[in-house]
C-alpha cells in the first residue's frame, strides 16, 4: 500500500495550496453526490479509507504526479515539404510582406472572432483596424497597451494572383514564423493551423484562389503560453482597477514577442514537383575528395504513373559557376556526387576561405526527359566527429568561441530585419567569434543561410526553455519542435550541434526518462550531429546529462551567485567544469556567463552594472578557460549575451537584460574590445589566423 505519510513531506506547501486553489472550484461545480463519489474513490486508492478534503487535494496531486512520470514514446507527425521558396525555371515566388490590417481581440473573449466568423469578410467590417507591418512583432508598434496583450489578434490583407498561375501550376502559401499559434484562412476558407513559434509552415491554396482577381488572406495569432506549450507559461486571472484581467507569466528571461515574425510568401510549383531534398556530405581522410549524398522526394500525379519513371539530374557547381560533378539517378531519386580537389566548408578563422559553398542543382525529369521541376540550394562539404574529449570538423579539433544571442531589436521585436541581420554578422566577424547558439528558439532561415556563407557555426536550439512539469502532452510537442527544426535545418553546414533545451529543470524526478526520450528521438532524426542542452542545475542534481553527447552549463559567478565578488570567479568555474567532466566523461562547454552592464556607467574600482565590472568578470573567466583548455576536454566558451535585449517588466531589469557586449542598438561596450582581443588571440594560437590591423591601438615605440 502507498505510504502517504512518507510521501507527503516532499510536496511543497506552495504546490499544495496552488493545487487546492485549482481543484476547489471544480469540486464546487461537482457538488454532491459526484464530489462524494470522487472523494471515496480517491480515498480507496490512497489509503483504503475516506479522506478529508485536504487529503483529497494531496491525493489528486500524487495521482497527477504519478501519471506524469509514465511517459510513452509516441509517434510525432512528420513534416513534409517546406523547402525554402526559391525562384527557378519552373517556380515563381511572391512576397506578401508589407502593411496588413490588424485587430486585437477582447482579452476576456478571445474566440469571438472565430464564433462571429471575422474571416468570412474583411476585418474592417467586423472591427476597426489599424495598420501593422509584416514581418514584425506587434507588441512595440503602437503607443497603447498592446505590448502586454494576452490572447488572440487578427491580421488580413488583399492580394492579386496573376491569371498565368492558373495554368498547370500549384500554388502554396508559406509563413516563415507566427508566434505562437496560427490559424489561416484564404477567401474565407480555413487552410492551415500551426502551433509552434519560430518555425515555418505552409499549405496548398491552388483551389482556393481567384486567378486574375483579388484575394484575401486572414490570420488569427494566439500568443498564450501554458504548461503544455513550447515554451511553457501560465495564464492567470487577477483583479485590477477595472475588475479582472488576464496576465501571462513565464519564467524565461526574454520578452514573449508575438505576431507574424517572418516573411509570408506565395510560391508556385509544377503539378509534379520536388517536395523535399536531403543532403549529407563526407570528406576523404586527406580532405582531397568530397562526397555529396542526396535524396529527393516528389509530390504529384506523375510520380504515381507506372509508365513514367521519374529521375533526377543533379549538377554541382563551384563558386565560380563551374560544373564540378554531375550524376543521373535511377527511379529511387537519390545519388552521390564526388568532387575532386574539393574545397571543404570551414568555420570562420579556421581557414583563409571559410564558409565555402557549392550550388546543388536538382532537375526532376520524366521518362521522356521532359523537365518537370528545378530546385537549387547551397551545399557545404564537411565532416563532423566527436568523442569523449573533443569535437572535430574535417578532422581538426574545434574550440568554440562565441555567444548566446536573441532575435531582438527595438520596435520590430523579433521580426525579421535584414539590415539588422547583416549588422549582427559584421559584428560577429569583427569580434572574432566562430559560433553562436540560437538561444532559445530557432532563428530565421535567412540567418541560417548567412551563417553558412560566413562560416559561423551554429548550435541550433529548439524553443524548449525552463522546461518543467513534464507530461505526455509536453513531450509530444517538445519532440515535434525538434522534428520541425531538424527538418528545416538539416542541410545547413553551419549547424554543427542540436540543443534540445535551455535550463530545463533536470533535477526533477521525471527529467531522466523525459530527456532520454527527447535525446533518442533527436538522434533518430539526425545522428550526424552531437546533442547538447544548456543546463543550469548543479551536476550533483542533474538527470539529463547522461543522454547528451556534449555537456553545456550556464553559471553566473559574481552576478547571480556571490554578487560583486570578482575573487570568487576563476576557481569556481574551474571546479564546476571539472566536476561536470568527471561526472559524465564528456566534452564540456560553458554556454552562458556574464554580467549586466549599463552602457556609459564607469566606476573604479569595478562595481556591479559598470562597464569595468563586466570587463573584469570576463577577464576572470578567461583565466579559468585557459586552464581548462589545457585539460583537453573543455571545448568552448559562450558569452551571455551578444546584445542587450528586452524582457518582461521587472524591478531587476532596467529596460531589459543588459548582459550584451553590444547595446540593443548594436554599439560596443568596453568589454567588446577586450573580448575581441581574446577571440582573435585564440584564433591565432589555435587556428593560425592573423590579427586584424586595428586590433591593438598604437601606444608608443
Contact at 8 Å (CB) between 413 and 647? no
Asked if the peptide bond before residue 354 counts as cis, ω within 30 degrees of 0, the response is no
Q: What is the mean pLDDT of residues 105-129?
A: 96
- Cell output for 10: 516532499
Q: What is the mean pLDDT of residues 360-370?
A: 95
Confidence of residue 54 (pLDDT cuts 50, 70, 90): low
Q: Catalytic: 503?
A: yes
Separation in Å, CA 141 to CA 239, 498, 518: 27, 34, 37
Confidence of residue 72 (pLDDT cuts 50, 70, 90): confident
C-alpha–C-alpha distance, residues 431 and 423, integer Å? 12
Contact at 8 Å (CB) between 259 and 136? yes
- Cell output for 284: 576523404
Task: Give the active site residue among 503, 576, 612, 616.
Answer: 503
Please, what is the average pLDDT of the chain? 91
Burial of 605 (0-12, 13-18, 19+ CB in 10 A): exposed
pLDDT at 309: 85
Contact at 8 Å (CB) between 259 and 84? no
Widest distance between CA atoms in the chain: 93
Confidence of residue 192 (pLDDT cuts 50, 70, 90): very high
Contact at 8 Å (CB) between 544 and 506? yes
Contact at 8 Å (CB) between 161 and 212? yes
pLDDT at 307: 66
Confidence of residue 308 (pLDDT cuts 50, 70, 90): confident
What confidence tens digit (pLDDT) does each residue in 574-607 have? Answer: 999 999 999 999 999 999 999 999 999 999 999 9
What confidence tens digit (pLDDT) does each residue in 162-189 have? Answer: 999 999 899 999 999 999 999 999 999 9
Contact at 8 Å (CB) between 617 and 597? no
Contact at 8 Å (CB) between 403 and 642? yes
pLDDT at 301: 78
Confidence of residue 84 (pLDDT cuts 50, 70, 90): very high
Instruction: Tell which residue, 701, 664, 674, has the closest CA to residue 613.
Output: 674
pLDDT at 330: 86
Task: Tell me the three state secondary structure of residue 616.
Answer: helix
pLDDT at 56: 53
Q: Is the pLDDT of residue 23 over 60?
A: no
- Cell output for 694: 586595428
C-alpha–C-alpha distance, residues 461 and 568, integer Å? 30
Please report the DSSP string for 527-579 in residue order.
-SS-EEEEE-S-TTT-SSGGG-SSEEEE--BTTTBSTT-GGGSHHHHHHHHHH
Contact at 8 Å (CB) between 374 and 83? no
Give kind and range of the element (H or E) at residue 246: strand 243-249
C-alpha–C-alpha distance, residues 60 and 55, integer Å? 9
Kindly report each contact of residues 141-145 with a partner whose C-beta sits within 8 Å and lies 24 or more positions away, as own/partner. 141/411
Percent of the chain whose predicted confidence (pLDDT) is above 90 = 85
pLDDT at 79: 93
- Cell output for 251: 519564467
Q: Is the pLDDT of residue 1 over 50?
A: no
Whose cell is 547522461? That residue is 546
Q: Is the pLDDT of residue 18 over 80?
A: no
pLDDT at 13: 30
Q: Is the pLDDT of residue 15 over 70?
A: no
C-alpha–C-alpha distance, residues 605 and 612, integer Å? 8
- E strand residue ranges, 573-628: 588-592
Fill in the DSSP letter of residue 605.
S
- E strand residue ranges, 366-504: 371-379, 384-386, 391-393, 396-397, 400-404, 435-437, 457-461, 495-502
Q: In 432-543, where does DSSP find H-type helix? A: 445-454, 472-489, 511-525
Contact at 8 Å (CB) between 516 and 482? no
Contact at 8 Å (CB) between 494 and 281? no
Could you tell me the strand order of the sheet in which 201-204 lies?
93-95, 264-270, 169-175, 201-204
Instruction: Tell which residue, 672, 609, 597, has the closest CA to residue 642.
Output: 672
Q: Is the pLDDT of residue 635 over 90?
A: yes
What confidence tens digit (pLDDT) does each residue in 324-338 have? Answer: 999 999 889 999 999
Confidence of residue 60 (pLDDT cuts 50, 70, 90): low
Cβ-Cβ contacts under 8 Å for 699 (sequence gap 6 or more): none
- Cell output for 150: 494576452
Amino acid at each position: 500500500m502507498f505510504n502517504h505519510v512518507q510521501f507527503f513531506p516532499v510536496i511543497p506547501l506552495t504546490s499544495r495550496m496552488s493545487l487546492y486553489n485549482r481543484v476547489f472550484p471544480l469540486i464546487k461545480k461537482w457538488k454532491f453526490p459526484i464530489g462524494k463519489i470522487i472523494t471515496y474513490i480517491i480515498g480507496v486508492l490512497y489509503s483504503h479509507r475516506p479522506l478529508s478534503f485536504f487529503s483529497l487535494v494531496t491525493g489528486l496531486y500524487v495521482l497527477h504526479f504519478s501519471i506524469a512520470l509514465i511517459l510513452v514514446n509516441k509517434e510525432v507527425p512528420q513534416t513534409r515539404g517546406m523547402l525554402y521558396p526559391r525562384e527557378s525555371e519552373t517556380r515563381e515566388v511572391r512576397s506578401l510582406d508589407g502593411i496588413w490590417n490588424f485587430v486585437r481581440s477582447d482579452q476576456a473573449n478571445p474566440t469571438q472572432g472565430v464564433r462571429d466568423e471575422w474571416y468570412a469578410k474583411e476585418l474592417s467590417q467586423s472591427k476597426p483596424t489599424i495598420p501593422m507591418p509584416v514581418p514584425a512583432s506587434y507588441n512595440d508598434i503602437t503607443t497603447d497597451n498592446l505590448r502586454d496583450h494576452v490572447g488572440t489578434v487578427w491580421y488580413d490583407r488583399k492580394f492579386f494572383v496573376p491569371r498565368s498561375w492558373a495554368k498547370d501550376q500549384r500554388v502554396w502559401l508559406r509563413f516563415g514564423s507566427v508566434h505562437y499559434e496560427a490559424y489561416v484562412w484564404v477567401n474565407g476558407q480555413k487552410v492551415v493551423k500551426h502551433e509552434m513559434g519560430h518555425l515555418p509552415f505552409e499549405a496548398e491554396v491552388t483551389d482556393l484562389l481567384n486567378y486574375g482577381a483579388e484575394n484575401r488572406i486572414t490570420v488569427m495569432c494566439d500568443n498564450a503560453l501554458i504548461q503544455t506549450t513550447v515554451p511553457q507559461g501560465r495564464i492567470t486571472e487577477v483583479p485590477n482597477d477595472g475588475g479582472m484581467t488576464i496576465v501571462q507569466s513565464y519564467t524565461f528571461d526574454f520578452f514573449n514577442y508575438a505576431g507574424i515574425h517572418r516573411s509570408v510568401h506565395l510560391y508556385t510549383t509544377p503539378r509534379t514537383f520536388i517536395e523535399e531534398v536531403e543532403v549529407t556530405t563526407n570528406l576523404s581522410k586527406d580532405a582531397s575528395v568530397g562526397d555529396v549524398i542526396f535524396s529527393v522526394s516528389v509530390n504529384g500525379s506523375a510520380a504515381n504513373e507506372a509508365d513514367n519513371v521519374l529521375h533526377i539530374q543533379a549538377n554541382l557547381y563551384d563558386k565560380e559557376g563551374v560544373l564540378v560533378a554531375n550524376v543521373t539517378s535511377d527511379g529511387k531519386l537519390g545519388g552521390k556526387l564526388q568532387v575532386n580537389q574539393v574545397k571543404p566548408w570551414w568555420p570562420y578563422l579556421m581557414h583563409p576561405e571559410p564558409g565555402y559553398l557549392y550550388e546543388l542543382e536538382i532537375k526532376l525529369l520524366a521518362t521522356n526527359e521532359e523537365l518537370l521541376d528545378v530546385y537549387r540550394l547551397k551545399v557545404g562539404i564537411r565532416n563532423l566527429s566527436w568523442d569523449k574529449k573533443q569535437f572535430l570538423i574535417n578532422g581538426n579539433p574545434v574550440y568554440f568561441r562565441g555567444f548566446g544571442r536573441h532575435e531582438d531589436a527595438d520596435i520590430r521585436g523579433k521580426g525579421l530585419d535584414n539590415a539588422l541581420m547583416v549588422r549582427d554578422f559584421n559584428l560577429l566577424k569583427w569580434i572574432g567569434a566562430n559560433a553562436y547558439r540560437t538561444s532559445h528558439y530557432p532563428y530565421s532561415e535567412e540567418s541560417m543561410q548567412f551563417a553558412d556563407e560566413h562560416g559561423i557555426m551554429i548550435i541550433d536550439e529548439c524553443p524548449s526553455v525552463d522546461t518543467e512539469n513534464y507530461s505526455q502532452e509536453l513531450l509530444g510537442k517538445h519532440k515535434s519542435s525538434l522534428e520541425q527544426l531538424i527538418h528545416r535545418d538539416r542541410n545547413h553546414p553551419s549547424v554543427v550541434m542540436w540543443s534540445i533545451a535551455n535550463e530545463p529543470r533536470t533535477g526533477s524526478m521525471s527529467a531522466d526518462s523525459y530527456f532520454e526520450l527527447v535525446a533518442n528521438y533527436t538522434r533518430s532524426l539526425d545522428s550526424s550531429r552531437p546533442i547538447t542542452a544548456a543546463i543550469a542545475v548543479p551536476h550533483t542534481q542533474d538527470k539529463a546529462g547522461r543522454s547528451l553527447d556534449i555537456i553545456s552549463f550556464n553559471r553566473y559567478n559574481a552576478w547571480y551567485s556571490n554578487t560583486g565578488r570578482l575573487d570568487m570567479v576563476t576557481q569556481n568555474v574551474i571546479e564546476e567544469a571539472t566536476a561536470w567532466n568527471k561526472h559524465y566523461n564528456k566534452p564540456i562547454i560553458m554556454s552562458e556567463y556574464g554580467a549586466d552592464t549599463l552602457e556609459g556607467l564607469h566606476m573604479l574600482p569595478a562595481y556591479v552594472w559598470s562597464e569595468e565590472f563586466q570587463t573584469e568578470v570576463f577577464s576572470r573567466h578567461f583565466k579559468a578557460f585557459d586552464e581548462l583548455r589545457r585539460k583537453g576536454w573543455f571545448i568552448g566558451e559562450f558569452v551571455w549575451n551578444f546584445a542587450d535585449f528586452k524582457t518582461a517588466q521587472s524591478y531587476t531589469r532596467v529596460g531589459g537584460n543588459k548582459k550584451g557586449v553590444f547595446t540593443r542598438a548594436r554599439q560596443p561596450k568596453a568589454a567588446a574590445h577586450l573580448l575581441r582581443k581574446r577571440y582573435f588571440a585564440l584564433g591565432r594560437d589555435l587556428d593560425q589566423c592573423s590579427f586584424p590591423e586595428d586590433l591593438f591601438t598604437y601606444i608608443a615605440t
